[in-house]
């Protein structure tokens, strides 16, 4: 701390910490969870299937997110760093130390702070104090404190004041300030952990869903043990995040059978108060619908031309030889719904794109 900092102009001291603190923390936790989930899944699955782009993506994603975060928070950090801290005297109203084995003792202080050039205020802070120095702090004792003028709840007790402030503190008397104390933002509680976990799960789900063709194609080709013949609708989240619904058919049945896919879609959409779909992915015996989060519109998954699907899959598979697997992906990234059908046969892979009425737009293949 320096001599020349105490005669700064007065901005604000009173008022509670801004409310967006915890909310921003929650959002950050959610995004961090999502990035960790997605990048770990991408990296591990990339290593398993030997796909360089997934491995590199898994490594680049957290780096890019971190960089973006730094860039976004740069103006705020610069502003905070430029703020000249203010030094003042304060009286300890109460303190509560949680003594353990460690030499640093986490301590909660309630202080009445009396700045030279502004209204006095009361604040509650947490600070670690060395076990030996703890005896220096007692109720009604005078301490020197330092805080950013615009965020007084970030106050810090100065352990080693300059001689000038040491003298002032020795002879000073500071009056108590009545009323509730300002508090630093409480640490993110259960909701924060839950959102981070949710982000993690969604990150994992997103990667698995986006790259399911790459990740699961090999297994389907082998025709191994059938997965559990169940119809399940799993809900990852409520309110602010998206939901995913999955339907698995019994062995021997196919989504291409008459009415099967439509019935599966209906089973996911009926009853629940769901907004449109974000993405719909259908395979021989598996249907997954990612519903749009609240506030975002999606397409109606029931509106797709399911009656045309067997013919489209047939057409898409032309030239691919005998069909081994197929996948339908429907999404409205560009504003209108597009259907993308990928068919893998023993002579290669063919892709077909169609519009929402089942009209073929393009075909390609390798």
Partner 1 sequence: MGWDGFLLLWCAAWGVAALVGYGMSLAGVTKAQRTVRLAGRIERVREPRHGGSRTGGISVVVSYRDPVTGEQVTVTNDGERGEMITVAWEGREIGVSHPRGRPHAYRFSNVPEQPGRGLGWPTFAVFLVYVGLVVLAAVDRGWPWALIGFGGPWAVYAAVHLPATIRARNDHVARLAAMETVEGSVVAVLKDVSVDQDDGHTWTTITPVVSFTTREGTVVTAHCTEKLPNAAEARGRDVTVHYAPADPAHFTLNRSAEQRSRNQDVTFNVLTIVVLAATAVVGVAFL
If binding is defined by CB under 8 A, does position 81 make contact with partner 1?
Answer: yes
If binding is defined by CB under 8 A, does position 158 make contact with partner 1?
Answer: yes
The nearer residue to partner 1, 109 or 326, going by C-beta atoms, is: 109
Q: Which of 12, 24, 56, 70 binds partner 1 (CB under 8 A)?
A: 56
The nearer residue to partner 1, 40 or 55, going by C-beta atoms, is: 55
Whose CA is closest to 126, among 181, 189, 191? 181
If binding is defined by CB under 8 A, does position 5 make contact with partner 1?
Answer: yes
Number of residues counted as binding partner 1 (CB under 8 A): 29
Segment contacting partner 1 (CB under 8 A): 94-102, 256-264, 302-310, 316-324? 94-102
Hey, is 260 helix, strand or coil? helix
How many Å apart are CA 194 and CA 29, to the nearest integer? 9
How many Å apart are CA 161 and CA 83, to the nearest integer? 20
Residues near 261 by beta carbon (within 8 Å), at least 6 away in sequence: 255, 282, 287, 306, 309
Question: Between residue 236 and residue 295, which ones bind partner 1 under the rule CB under 8 A?
Answer: none
Whose CA is closest to 330, among 363, 285, 366, 282? 282
**73, two tokens:** 């928070």
- The DSSP-derived string for 299-359 is B-GGGS-GGGHHHHHHHHTTTS-SEEEEEEEEE-SSSS-EEEEEEEETTEEEEEEEETTS-
Q: Which of 75, 163, 171, 224 binds partner 1 (CB under 8 A)?
A: 163
If binding is defined by CB under 8 A, does position 138 make contact with partner 1?
Answer: no
Q: Which of 77, 126, 156, 357 binds partner 1 (CB under 8 A)?
A: 156
If binding is defined by CB under 8 A, does position 151 make contact with partner 1?
Answer: no
Helix axes of 20-49 and 212-222: crossing angle, nearest 10 degrees:
40
Q: Which of 11, 53, 230, 232 binds partner 1 (CB under 8 A)?
A: 53
If binding is defined by CB under 8 A, does position 72 make contact with partner 1?
Answer: no
Which H helix or E strand runs over 109?
strand 104-114
Question: Between residue 102 and residue 121, which ones bind partner 1 under the rule CB under 8 A?
Answer: 102-104
Q: Which of 29, 33, 58, 85 binds partner 1 (CB under 8 A)?
A: 85
If binding is defined by CB under 8 A, does position 101 make contact with partner 1?
Answer: yes
Burial 188-223 (b: 16+ CB within 10 A, else e): beeebebbbebbbbbbbbbbbbebbbebbbeebeee
If binding is defined by CB under 8 A, does position 58 make contact with partner 1?
Answer: no
How many Å apart are CA 28 and CA 34, to the nearest integer? 10
If binding is defined by CB under 8 A, does position 100 make contact with partner 1?
Answer: yes
**Minimum distance between the CB of residue 70 and partner 1, rounded to whole angstroms?**
14
If binding is defined by CB under 8 A, does position 2 make contact with partner 1?
Answer: yes
Which residue ranges make up the site for partner 1 (CB under 8 A)?
Answer: 1-5, 52-53, 56, 81-82, 84-85, 100-104, 130-133, 156, 158-164
């Amino acid at each position: 701390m320096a001599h020349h900092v105490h005669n700064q102009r007065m901005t604000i001291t009173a008022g509670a910490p801004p409310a967006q603190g915890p909310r921003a923390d929650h959002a950050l936790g959610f995004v961090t969870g999502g990035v960790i989930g997605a990048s770990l899944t991408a990296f591990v699955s990339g290593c398993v299937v030997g796909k360089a782009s997934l491995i590199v993506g898994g490594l680049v994603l957290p780096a890019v997110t971190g960089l973006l975060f730094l860039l976004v928070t740069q103006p705020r950090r610069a502003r905070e760093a430029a703020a000249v801290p203010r030094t003042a005297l304060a009286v300890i109203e109460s303190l509560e130390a949680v003594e353990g084995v460690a030499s640093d003792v986490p301590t909660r202080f309630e202080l009445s702070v009396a700045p030279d050039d502004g209204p006095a205020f009361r604040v509650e802070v947490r600070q670690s104090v060395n076990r030996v120095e703890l005896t220096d702090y007692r109720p009604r004792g005078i301490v020197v404190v330092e805080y950013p003028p615009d965020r007084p709840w970030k106050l810090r007790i100065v352990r080693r004041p300059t001689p000038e402030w040491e003298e002032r503190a020795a002879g000073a008397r500071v009056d108590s300030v009545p009323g509730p104390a300002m508090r630093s933002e409480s640490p993110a509680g259960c909701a924060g952990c839950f959102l981070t976990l949710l982000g993690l799960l969604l990150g994992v789900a997103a990667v698995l869903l986006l790259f399911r063709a790459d990740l699961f194609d090999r297994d389907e080709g082998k025709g191994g043990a059938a997965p559990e013949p169940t119809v399940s609708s799993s809900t990852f989240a409520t309110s602010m995040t998206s939901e995913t619904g999955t339907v698995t058919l019994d062995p021997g049945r196919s989504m291409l059978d008459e009415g099967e896919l439509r019935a599966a879609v209906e089973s996911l959409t009926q009853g629940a108060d769901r907004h449109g779909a974000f993405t719909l992915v259908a395979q021989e015996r598996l249907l997954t619908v990612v519903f749009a989060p609240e506030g975002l519109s999606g397409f109606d998954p029931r509106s797709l031309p399911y009656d045309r699907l067997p013919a489209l899959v047939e057409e898409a598979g032309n030239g691919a030889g005998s069909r081994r697997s197929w996948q339908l992906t429907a999404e409205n990234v560009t504003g209108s719904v597009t259907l993308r059908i990928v068919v893998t046969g023993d002579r290669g892979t063919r892709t077909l794109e169609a519009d929402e009425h089942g009209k073929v737009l393009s075909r390609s293949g390798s």
